[in-house]
Each structure stands twice: as structure tokens, then as C-alpha cells.
Amino acid sequence: MTTAVVGTAGIAVRGLGKRYGRSVALEDCTFDLPAGRVAALVGANGAGKTTLLTVLSGLLRADAGRVSLRPDERVAFVSQEKPVYKHLTPVEMLRLGARLNLVWDQARAEAWLTRFGVPLDRRCGKLSGGQRTQVALAVAIGSRPTLLLLDEPLADLDPLARTEVMRELLGEVAESGTTVVLSTHIVTELAGVADHLLLLAHGELLVGGDLDELLASHVMLVGPRAAAPPVEGEVVWDRHLDGQSLFLVKTPSTPAVSAPWVVRPVTLEDYVLAQLSVTRKGGSA
């Protein structure tokens, strides 16, 4: 694999592949992510999200394919485990970040810790999981990244903290034009956060693109039990209850249907869950 730096307006990933022994973690993964976007990386467990983020971070070399970044791209990666040195205090962790980076903003990093009430002089080993997450995020933010990669950033946080962290993060990145790729299981909390979707299944990229465009090109049809929807278009997903059928259909424009059929706009959650359940069926078939 080569990591070429070209003058594209963001990340360009081409044919990325990675294997661990016989198991395939990533296969022929290709997508573009325009600069300044907040991309949600979604997929079932083992879909290859962590591998993709780690390859993008430069910490892992892929077996095949190529990642092109912007010139002078500064990448920060917060891994799933939110690792910090347990015997160091948050202040010492920031000092470590300052020493190992060419660009550092101590005030921003400290402000993050203060904002979330992390005790600055307690050893990280004695902090809660959520507080350690904040320390790892503070180090990433202090390094002033232009590409911020977050693997399950919200997992150890309580619901209130999740909302606040997302809001603060978005504030930070909007101000600096940072591109963000974040993986998560919590699809509901992506609404209003992500503007780009990367959907992985079994190491392959299933869907990649602008979130609004994706959602606008699909509709959910609800009506009486039927074998097929009453409109033209590719059926992405269907579900049949006792007296009712649901179809997720890909269609260029919102179709007109007659009663009793109803057209509903597709939410991010609808879309992601439908795609995931399709790949699960496909995977077990």
C-alpha cells in the first residue's frame, strides 16, 4: 500500500484490502470523502470499521490499495480502547502529546478537560472510563488535526455526556474545517451530526456518499401486505407483518402512491438498520 499525498479535496481511498491470516478485514474498499465532512462509519461487529480507521491513521499498513490524503494532512486517531498511560495524570498526558507533536494547542486541550470536569492531577488509572475517553479526546484535539478519526468515541459515555461531547466536537471541527470519520453503533445519535455515510459489511464498502442525497433517493413505503411495492425502483429491504408490508425503495424522486399506501421519508436509522439487516441475511445465506 502507498499513502500518496495528492491535491484532492479530501480523502481518496482506492481498493484498500487487509487480511489477518485467512480472515478478511477489508476488501477492495474504495471511496472519496470531501474535506470538512463528518462521516459516520457504520457496520456490524467485525465489518472492518476499526481496521479501516487504523489504516487511515497510518498505524496499520494495508495489504492492497492506496489512501490519498491532502497535503500536510494532520491525522489524529482515538482508538476504541481510548488508551492512556495509567500512571500518568491527564496533565502529563497532555505534556506527552505536546512533546510528540509538531503542532500543539495546550489551551484547547486543557479547555476540553476542564469543560468535562476531568480532574487534572489524578492518575488516569484512577479515572472512570468516561473520563479516560475525555483525556484521549483532549490529546487528539490538542494536536490540531485536519483529519480526526474516532473509533466508537461515545461508547463509554453516559447519554448526557454523549450529546455534549458530540456538540463540542462538532463545534471544534466546524471552526477548523477538520474532516471527521467516526464509527459508532449508536445510529440514532448520528442524526444531525454526520453529513456523510460510509457503510461497511464484511470488509467491503456497501454504501458511501452524502447522507442527504442517500436519504433523499430512498423512500419507505407502508401499506397492506403485498409481495411487491406499488412503485418502480429497487427494493433495498422489505418486511412483512401480519397485515402490513414495509418496503425501502431506491427511487430518484418521491413517487405518488394511492391509498392505502403511504410514503414516508427515510431516516438515517431506517436506512442503516435496513442495510445492516440485509447484509446479515446475505452473510448467513
Partner 1 sequence: MTTTLTRPRVTTGDLLRVAWQRHRALVLVSTVLVVAAAVTIAFAGARTDAVLGSLPGFVLRVLWEPRDVNLLFGAAVAVFWGAPLVAREHEARTALVAWGQDVPPGRWLTGQVALLGAVASCLAAVLWLAEVQLVDKIRELSDDRLYQPFTTWFEVAPQLLVSYALFGFALGAATGTLLRRTLPSMAVALVVFGGARLAVMEWGREHFLPPVRTFEPWSDDHRSQVTDHALYVDSGYADANGVPIDYQDAWGCGDRVGSAGQLDCLKANGVAGHYADFQPVDRLDLFRWIEAGVFLVLAAGLLALAWYWVGRARRV
Using CB under 8 A, list all residues that contact partner 1.
20, 54, 57-61, 74, 76-77, 79, 81, 83-88, 92, 95-97, 99-108, 136, 139, 143-144
Sheet of 218-224: strand order equals 234-240, 244-250, 218-224, 262-265
Q: What is 214-257 written as a DSSP string?
A: HHHTEEEEEEES-SS-SS-SEEEEEEE-SSEEEEEEE-SSPPP-
Q: Which is nearer to partner 1, 19 or 195 (CB)?
A: 19
**Smallest distance, partner 1 to C-beta of residue 136, A:** 7
Q: How far is the CB of 56 from partner 1 (least distance, A)?
A: 11
Nearest-5° Cα angle at 157, 54 to 38: 50
Nearer to partner 1, 22 or 99 (CB): 99
Closest distance of CB 108 from partner 1, Å: 7
Beta bridge partner(s), residue 222: 246, 262
CA gap 212, 218 in Å, rounded: 10
Q: What is the grid cell recorded at 125?
A: 488509572
Task: Give least dist CB 41 to partner 1, A.
Answer: 17
- Return phi, psi of residue 174, to 5°: -65, -40
Nearer to partner 1, 57 or 68 (CB): 57
The nearer residue to partner 1, 176 or 251, going by C-beta atoms, is 176
Q: Which is nearer to partner 1, 147 or 199 (CB)?
A: 147
For the chain, the first-to-last Cα distance in angstroms comes to 32
CB of 262 to partner 1, least distance (A): 48
Q: Which neighbouring-strand residues pair with 163?
A: none
